[in-house]
Chains A and B, each alone.
Chain A
Amino acid sequence: DAGVIQSPRHEVTEMGQEVTLRCKPISGHDYLFWYRQTMMRGLELLIYFNNNVPIDDSGMPEDRFSAKMPNASFSTLKIQPSEPRDSAVYFCASSLAQWRRSAFFGQGTRLTVV
């Protein structure tokens, strides 16, 4: 298995533009997590899904952020409109609850909003 796959690895966009980050979880995993990492705030859980259903989105900072999981093998995190303070590394992670293990992280997407 290739692990959790995120795309793009790097994204530079102008303020006000829409940004879409993509994630393919490990096959068979039933939990998917989106995290944001910044120097100031550290690692923050934004939202997580169980069996494609959003369970807790209380970490999503604003209505400009939205996440979807249309099927078990794909999820998106969208920011519209983007702002410079959204610049961060966004990680996707997945896990299988029955393993009682914590999540496996993707390589991350480094987002820069100028």
Chain B
Amino acid sequence: GENVEQHPSTLSVQEGDSAVIKCTYSDSASNYFPWYKQELGKRPQLIIDIRSNVGEKKDQRIAVTLNKTAKHFSLHITETQPEDSAVYFCAADRFMKTSYDKVIFGPGTSLSVIP
């Protein structure tokens, strides 16, 4: 079946450095790729998403890149801050205009930003 792999599973960076998390997906029909941030004991929250017709998207310190040919996408966080410490989940979804297909989540990356 379809799956999403995510690497690394844990990541520690110094405050101010960049962090990169990579995901690969198997379903070539996937066309929507959201990223969620989940702080300890809290709900997942959407932080950025990208559609398959776009190669890159940026929102302040966060950017996502997508390589459809290779079926992988990455989250880039620049100038990391301690409040960026959380578990980050990628997901791959087939999103049509009026329907969803089954979204598959990656296993998560635990990011620690060391002050």
Contacts and interface: CB of A to CB of B under 8 A. Distances in A.
Interface of A: 31, 42-45, 48, 50, 55-56, 58-59, 91, 97, 100-108
Interface stretch (B12-20, B43-51, B57-65, B71-79): B43-51
Interface residues of B, number: 25
Contact of A102 (B49, B106, B107): B49
A5 to B, nearest CB: 12
Contacts of B25: none
Contacts of A42: 89, 105-108
Given A100-B95, A101-B49, A102-B93, A91 B44 contact: yes
Contact of B89 (A31, A43, A100, A104): A43
Nearest to A44: B105
Contact of B43 (A31, A44, A108): A108
Interface of B: 32, 34, 36, 42-46, 49, 51, 89, 91, 93, 95, 97-103, 105-108
7 contacts: A50-B100, A97-B99, A102-B49, A102-B103, A104-B46, A105-B44, A105-B45
Most-contacted residue by chain A among B32, B51, B103 (CB, 10 A) = B103
B100 A107 contact: no
Contacts of A91: 43-44
Given A42-B108, A97-B97, A100-B95, A106 B43 contact: yes
A59 B102 contact: yes
